[in-house]
Chain A
């Protein structure tokens, strides 16, 4: 088949057990599944059958870029990582986005994706360059931290090499290990660093000298101009008046500037710290830090703890020097920042406060105010020492092992107030599917008020991980008003959730930044970029239709592999939302939420009793073969009638 613009043509298929490398034609998938996340959904359906274990050789570590990756479409440098996730509870097919420069370089090397199966007999890394790949010996890299590995690979292959590496945590098959890129970005949630470790794969490196062809280059540049904002201020920020969550950052000793965390970015969301007086690195990138690292360095929230809506932390005495060191150590060990800082630390601090955890369990006194404590804790997690042996399984699994009722549900009696009123919260702020609370009205990002967090409940419910990485619920103000007027029974809520989910699939398949898109007041942007790059004139509605296909494709994998039903997902999401939220103390109404779920399923064309898409829905989306297989398994709602 002739090559369309945008895609480069091949998906690298690597079997580490056999040492075999072949190439799959991207165009078998591209038109229906685009790339990135969508492509992985389909590959998961085909190659990750029910029962695939995350650390078994049958699991595939998938890396996927999209047709826009490597072009000047703004923020298009991202890519997606996926496979059976060891982090998710239960273990199931999941995914994680990653920024930086790797995705674009992969395209220049001639590949739209990489599929890594099997397990190498000894430590290795994959070196990809211009249409070929090589499995190289990495025994001498094994054991190195992430940063040292990245530097060593640059020393061997040159400064322009792009890599994704694992640290000691990944090598030791931690369920909360990441793949870190040379820009400091990580494929964080999902535990794919551990999947790489189980395959004896220390790194994937790529160097490309090819190109990504663009159907209508002038149009693409014009579109970029339309969307790209011209900066009104110099991104170099020298004073300390940066305001975050309404609070001044206070004086910070070092210059800050905003950096891009992916190729072709025009947003520069996060600040970076430079000239930090340390020996190992000159500073910290926005991507080393992301949102969670900043929060936990404690420089933006002052002493407003407990008295501001949605601001629930710090639970421990933070300061910027220690915060930066913690972030760097987490990255170097190859651990998941969000899981540790957003889920595990609050749990440890609150549990210690309630007398659930003590020196006896830990092996050393719980003292988050001491830098040495952090080093012990994080090393313990990465190297499976002492209590770290348990923590490295992730916060949810740790709590489940110790006893969910006592270690998860005990109420924290420390300071957590709103306008002077106590807000009871359980010591565990794990939300669902094994992931820590995120922008859902409770936990470290608690600022979302009722009823807005109902939409998060819906989208998180149907996912296999924390859904707020790429489904941020961007809605127009007038639509939100309609939703808020009748949050449980109105049709607007499910409509907004469905739209956001489709856009989440689309942006992570094209690929575009999972934070910057969609733009509520410029909803046709994705379709315009897609049309200009590929030459396939595609309307916003047509792209949304593909988004719906991708969402249903992913759902089919979860239904087949994990028996996903309405009961399992509603049962999973409800307990967290039954706790009072962090802004007004609102709780979810279980019966009313049932009506919201009814409406959501109905709008999606899913059976309301089982939550399964109907045969008619699969066929409408061009997924007839999927319906056929599910019917054989008795997993179509209308099986009896067919």
Chain B
């Protein structure tokens, strides 16, 4: 909490500073909490630690606990995180939503603010599946990352995206359950 308050303070200071330098233009974007009106920056995102800090062992626990925490079942269509195994090359990449500064998914969503939402306090981009009524999947199309970091569950016609486990008091389940501690919540500040 203290960190957020600190950022709030810096934001305010930044805006005030930008105001002083009237005409400096883009300065406000980089120094502020907001990337555009009503679109706050994300405060944190999930990253896979560099191999020199920890090593993914390829167990897939992140995918499993993600699906089970959010969906109550385990399966490839229920997860919001992907483990890409390359057994021959020894690379294990963990892929998930990177909480883009300029979230293409959000701008594309026909129900933005209702279906694809941004948490006003934390800046976390998330999908409110209850209000995403038609599962149009335009957010998946819009995701600039390859592969797209939004999953689709055809059974329930739900689009699923990492929401940093915002409803989970202990933080992201994948971070907590990763047996080799190679996932980390990265704080994104200014």
Interface residues of A (CB under 8 A from B): 70-72, 77, 101, 104, 108, 147, 151, 159-160, 182-184, 208-214, 217, 220-221, 224-225, 228-231, 234-236, 257-260, 262-266, 268, 272, 274, 281-283, 285
Contact = CB atoms under 8 A, between A and B. Distances in A.
A235 B75 contact: no
7 contacts: A72-B68, A183-B85, A210-B77, A211-B78, A224-B65, A263-B59, A264-B61
Given A213-B72, A214-B73, A283-B90, 19 more contacts: A72-B64, A72-B68, A159-B86, A183-B85, A211-B75, A212-B75, A217-B69, A217-B72, A225-B177, A228-B179, A231-B180, A231-B181, A234-B181, A236-B51, A236-B52, A262-B59, A263-B59, A268-B57, A268-B59
Interface string B67-98: 11101111111100000111111100000000
A71 to B, nearest CB: 5
Contacts of A224: 65, 177
B57 A264 contact: no
A264 B64 contact: yes
Contact of A235 (B57, B88, B173, B176): B57
B61 A72 contact: yes
B179 A265 contact: yes
Given A221-B68, A231-B179, A236-B51, A282 B76 contact: no
Contact of B55 (A101, A229, A234, A282): A234
B55 A236 contact: yes
B77 A211 contact: yes
Contact of B74 (A214, A231, A258, A282): A214
Nearest to B59: A260
B55 A257 contact: yes
A151 B76 CA distance: 22
A213 B78 CA distance: 11
B53 A234 contact: yes
B58 interface: yes
A266 B61 CA distance: 8
B152 to A, nearest CB: 10
B54 interface: yes
B87 A182 contact: yes
A101 B59 CA distance: 9
Contact of B84 (A108, A147, A159, A258): A159
Given A147-B88, A184-B87, A217-B68, A260 B58 contact: yes
Interface in B163-184: 173, 176-177, 179-181
B167 to A, nearest CB: 13
Interface string B103-147: 000000000000000000000000000000000000000000000
B90 A266 contact: no
A259 B89 CA distance: 13
A311 to B, nearest CB: 29
B67 A211 contact: yes
A209 B76 contact: yes
B58 A259 contact: yes
A184 B86 CA distance: 12
A10 B74 CA distance: 17
A208 B76 CA distance: 8
Contacts of B87: 182-184, 285
Contacts of B75: 70, 108, 208-212
B81 to A, nearest CB: 13
A220 B71 CA distance: 13
B65 A101 contact: no
A221 B65 contact: yes
A266 B59 contact: yes
Given A182-B87, A183-B87, A224-B177, A258 B64 contact: no
B57 A263 contact: no
B68 A214 contact: yes
Contacts of B85: 101, 159, 183
A235 B74 contact: no
B60 interface: yes
Which of B87, B88, B173, B179 gathers the greatest number of chain A CB atoms within 10 Å? B87
A214 B72 contact: yes
A268 B90 contact: no
